[in-house]
Structure 1
Amino acid sequence: MAEIVFEAEPHPDTRAAILDGLLAYNAAKTEGRFGAPRTIALALKDPETGASVGGLTARVSYSRMFVELLFIPEHLRGKGLGEKLMAEAEKVAKDLGCIGIWLDTFSFQAPGFYKKIGYQEFGAISDYPPGFSRHFFHKPLS
């Protein structure tokens, strides 16, 4: 029998044991048809300093791209960068053989934006965080 031990911050060996075991299990169940998950980024760079100021990160696995994080600094909002980032993410996803993109967003973030650019809501969690909701979107890529 194994004992359960709480780690407030996962030890790297713990994370590796969980991730490696899960990836091996998933590869066996999917008969190795999909490559290992990978993470990509589309960075927004300051043209003067070259520093990253925002952008998006996404994980590609099992024929879909999951947009993990998307951030555009306040001073750059309203200039079409969100649409450009998502269009580029869709292009990258297609180039990597994905058939769809999914993501989640809070009600105080951008559910209307994702609907506007063709994403369909497939679920929501009410009162998460309290007083708000979390929305899940998907867009098939053809």
Structure 2
Amino acid sequence: MTTTHTEEDTNAVYKGLFQHNVRKTYGLLRKPNIDINIYLKENNIPIGAILCDTFNFCMYIDVMWIEESYRGKGLGKALINQAEKIAKDNGCVFSHTCTFSYQSPEFYKACGYTVFVELDNYPNGIVQYFLKKML
């Protein structure tokens, strides 16, 4: 065992795991095989975005961010609605994500997401929420 590694070592591990998962899901892991990345820009500068992966006919919201001065104007909800529409149009049946208590669990709940797991072992009362929504 070693902690010494190269970028090629890391890539080999990711590739091996991905190939295993594709085999075990009979290719379903690759469905619908699109990334959904939608950006909000002002003067060609990002002020928000939603970055999603799709696999097993689901959409995973990996990153969701709105510049603080633009929050509360419906932009986040518009991003989620557009991403969900693209996902549904491509066969996804549900969406899921995770967020921390200091981030945006109430925002996701307001968008129709329900909490299915809470991980509350972090220090300082921080809770991680795992949420899902049928599309």
- The reply to whether TM is greater than 0.5 is yes
1:18 is aligned to: 13
Structure 1 residue 134 displacement after superposition: 0.5
* Aligned residue in 2 for 1:123: 117
Aligned match for 2:69, one of 66, 75, 82: 75
Distance 2:106 2:56 in 1: 27
- Equivalent-residue separation in structure 2 for 1:131 and 1:87 (angstroms): 31
1:31 corresponds to which of 4, 14, 26 = 26
Moved over 6 A (4+): none
User: Structure 1 62/108 Cα, relative in aligned 2: closer, same or farther at 3 Å?
Assistant: same
Please list, as runs of the form range in 1=range in 2, the aligned pairs for 1:99-114 lying within 5 A after superposition.
Answer: 99-114=93-108
**Structure 1 unmatched ranges of 5 or more:** none
Q: Please, which runs of 5 or more residues in structure 2 have no aligned partner?
A: none
Q: What is the CA RMSD across the aligned residues, in angstroms?
A: 1.8
Aligned-pair CA distance for 1:109: 1.3
Distance 1:134 1:94 in 2: 26
TM-score w.r.t. length of structure 2: 0.89
Higher relative contact order (CA 8 A, sep 6+): 2
TM-score, L = length of structure 1: 0.85
Matched with 1:59 is: 53
Partners of 2:125 and 2:131 in 1: CA distance: 20
Q: Which residue of 2 aligns with 1:85?
A: 79
Normalized per residue, the structure richer in helix is: 2
* Alignment partner, residue 88 of structure 2: 94
In 2: Cα distance, 1:68 partner to 1:31 partner: 24
Aligned length in residues: 134
Instruction: Give the distance between the partners of 2:115 and 2:64, measured in 1 at CA.
Output: 18
